[in-house]
Amino acid sequence: MVALRIAIAALVAAASLAAVPAAAAAEDSTLIIGMTVPIENPNIWALNSSSEWSAVTLQYDMMLKFSDDDLSAAPSLATGCEPNSDYTRWTCAIREGVTWSDGTPLTSRDIAFTYRFVIDQGFPYFSGYFPEGSTFETPDDNTLVWVTPEPSRGPEVPAWVYVVPEHIWSPYVGKTNKEIKQAPTLPTVSSGPYVMTEAAPGQSWTFERNPYFWGDEPAYDRIVYRLYTNQEAMVQALKNGEIQIADGIESALLPAVEAIPDVVVQKITADSWTNLAFNFGGQDPASAPLRALQDVRVRQAIAMAIDKQAIVDKAYQGVASPGETIIRPLSVYWHLDIPDDQLIPYDPDGANAMLDEAGYARGDDGIRIDPETGDRLVIRMPTSNDTPGSEIAGKLIASFLQQIGIEVNAQPVSAGKIYDMQQSGDFDAYIWYWSGDPDPNYQLSVFTSAACGDLSDGCWRDPTYDALVEKQAATLDQDERLAIVREAQQYVYDQVPAIPLAYPNAIVAYRSDLVTGLTPVPAGNGYLTPSYSYTSLVNARPASSGGEASAPASPGASAEPGAPQAAPAQAGSSGVPVWVWLLVAAVVVVILVVVVVRRRSAAERPDTH
């Protein structure tokens, strides 16, 4: 084992040698953020994962942005938009003096170009914000007119579309999306506070400060997103000071994070919510959901028998809030907070009484019988393995419903399997998740009859609800629309086609001794890293105690914005490619091992050869 010891010692030595120049290289201020979701393609039109959205949000502006306060429309590249009397022409005043990161002026034509490009190419995440037949006029550099054939809320939704420079992207007009997604984009030309200069696939993205940014100057010269595919490793990195912020921590690791000195934990009112959906059938002629679940009294009794607080405590370690309506609280403006006295209470006795009254008597084994079909109330309720907490929630629900004489088979399955079930209708209920826009239209629409066969979970069909959703979509007055949106949420809550079980919080933690000034968006329990806005990272600055993370980012020489750059460089911290160090280490180890072995066999060999 001597050889093994030597080998390990050599590796350690080589590694620490290599690490020395790395530690000395920190000069500029760098903010390093640990992420757990892969980042793959820096091209804005290929964005997909939450980390990629974050990266794009850090670099680009929208015409009207999500307000930092409550995510409603707020001035950004446009200082404001005014409709004509019938809401078919919106005239937007574009901010003067804004330039792209390569020094080219940003005008209304860039915005019109972006919108036309998005519509013509049909980029999936962006194209849904434009009413049919939208056209754009640019009477001058600082005016954009958005014309729609029908009255619309146009820019005020706001359109979640990032404005790109026409002079960079116009050569791609008419190309296929495949070609556009493979266009080289580094360094980015954008208008936000930072531009991406380096992308190391599957490991890190580096952003440099945009010298032409039109807003307040950010404090950090450089921001690095670093990928951790192992949550424990990210927490260790936060503890060691290798990163200043850890984004997207699992609730199970919260105690470990809270034990780190100087750590501040933000529990974010998250985007997604955990949903128990009932199936009403009709997706497929063969779909045969449990009849009893079509009975609203049974669904209400189930809702009454579920202790949502217990789910929050056990499935989410308390890092969540009990679910209420289908518009999650992050949509601060639209979410309906149901008053305590109108909440369906956790009341198993009341639930039992409801079912007794509805005629679902208990059989010999204690399981209730459907009076119409004679079937036992046994619910097939798989849980999806891509939904954190759903497996434990499923087990808890099985035990809750046992108390009211309903048997539940809660088998965890893959998200793909759940999708197949949703398409075929071959399930009684399932636990999955939803995530949507700040604007409620999308989330409301997935519960309509029209969504059956597409996005609807269990093909609930309710004309009253459909009418409410249609009405809110056509209502242009914001206050009137808000009233209808709230009515729709209350209606779903009462009819129970689905039970929002929990609003899990996303966890972000940062070292308050290293970074300060982070600003939640939306205000209160919002995101600290770019999700809807870059504000937090513009306000962020090194804490006075001195510091930035101990391990610096790879340098990737601060490229002149706008200068063409062929391929992202992959260099180690000291400028020498990592693999050179590693190869050297490996060769040293092998040589050492061979020398030791040879010397030993020579020593053992007698002279009588």
Partner 1 sequence: MRSGALDLRFVARRAGYALLTLAFILAVNFFLFRIMPGDPIALLARSQRLSPEALEEQRRAFGLDEPLFVQFVVYLRETLTGQLGVSLVSGVDVVDLIVSRLWPTILLVGVGTLLAAVIGVLIGIRGGWRRGSAFDSSSLYSSLVLYSTPEGWLGMLLLLLFAGWLGWFPAGGFSSAAGLALPVLALSLGYVGQYAIVMRSSMIEVKAQPYITLARAKGLSDPDVRRRHAVPNAVLPTFTLVVLSVGFILGGAIVIETVFSWPGIGLLTYEAINTLDYPVLQGVFLVSSAAVILAAFIADIAYGVIDPQVRQS
- Applying the rule CB under 8 A, the residues between 428 and 487 that interact with partner 1 are 432-437, 442, 451, 454-455
- Restricting to residues 200-219, name those near partner 1 by CB under 8 A: 200-204
Least distance in angstroms from the C-beta of 24 to partner 1: 12
Residues 6+ apart with CB under 8 A from 16: none
Query: Can you tell me which of 178, 364, 544, 564 binds partner 1, judged by CB under 8 A?
Result: 178
Taking contact as CB under 8 A, which single stretch among the options 54-62, 176-184, 464-472, 528-536 is the one that binds partner 1?
A: 176-184
Provide the 10 A C-beta neighbour count for residue 449: 15
R_g over Cα of the chain:
28
DSSP state of 552: P
Inter-CA distances, 304 with 74, 293, 295, 554, Å:
40, 14, 15, 55
Residue 110 or 466: which CB sits closer to partner 1?
466
Alpha-carbon distance 67 to 132, whole Å?
26
Least distance in angstroms from the C-beta of 455 to partner 1: 6
Q: Binding-site residue total for partner 1 (CB under 8 A)?
A: 91
- Restricting to residues 574-593, name those near partner 1 by CB under 8 A: 578-579, 581-583, 585-586, 589-590, 593
- Restricting to residues 101-120, name those near partner 1 by CB under 8 A: none
Least distance in angstroms from the C-beta of 349 to partner 1: 36
Residue 296 or 590: which CB sits closer to partner 1?
590
Give me the helices (H) in 386-459, please: 390-402, 415-424, 441-445
Provide the 10 A C-beta neighbour count for residue 328: 26
Least distance in angstroms from the C-beta of 139 to partner 1: 32
Taking contact as CB under 8 A, which single stretch among the options 11-19, 75-83, 214-222, 540-548 is the one that binds partner 1?
A: 11-19
Angle at 113 between CA 104 and CA 192, to 5 degrees: 50
Query: Can you tell me which of 153, 226, 481, 511 binds partner 1, judged by CB under 8 A?
Result: 226
Provide the 10 A C-beta neighbour count for residue 138: 17
Least distance in angstroms from the C-beta of 239 to partner 1: 7
Q: Is 149 exposed, middle or buried (0-12, 13-18, 19+ CB in 10 A)?
A: exposed
Angle at 127 between CA 97 and CA 134, to 5 degrees: 75
- Restricting to residues 42-71, name those near partner 1 by CB under 8 A: 43, 45-46, 48-50
- Restricting to residues 539-558, name those near partner 1 by CB under 8 A: 551, 553-554
The phi, psi pair for 563, rounded to 5°, reads -70, 140
Least distance in angstroms from the C-beta of 130 to partner 1: 12
Q: Is 324 exposed, middle or buried (0-12, 13-18, 19+ CB in 10 A)?
A: buried
In the stretch 384-423, what mask flags binding to partner 1 with x, by CB under 8 A?
A: ------------------------------xxxx-xx--x
Residue where the block lists tokens 């350690």: 12
Query: Can you tell me which of 124, 133, 345, 575 binds partner 1, judged by CB under 8 A?
Result: 124
Structure tokens at 247: 């984004």
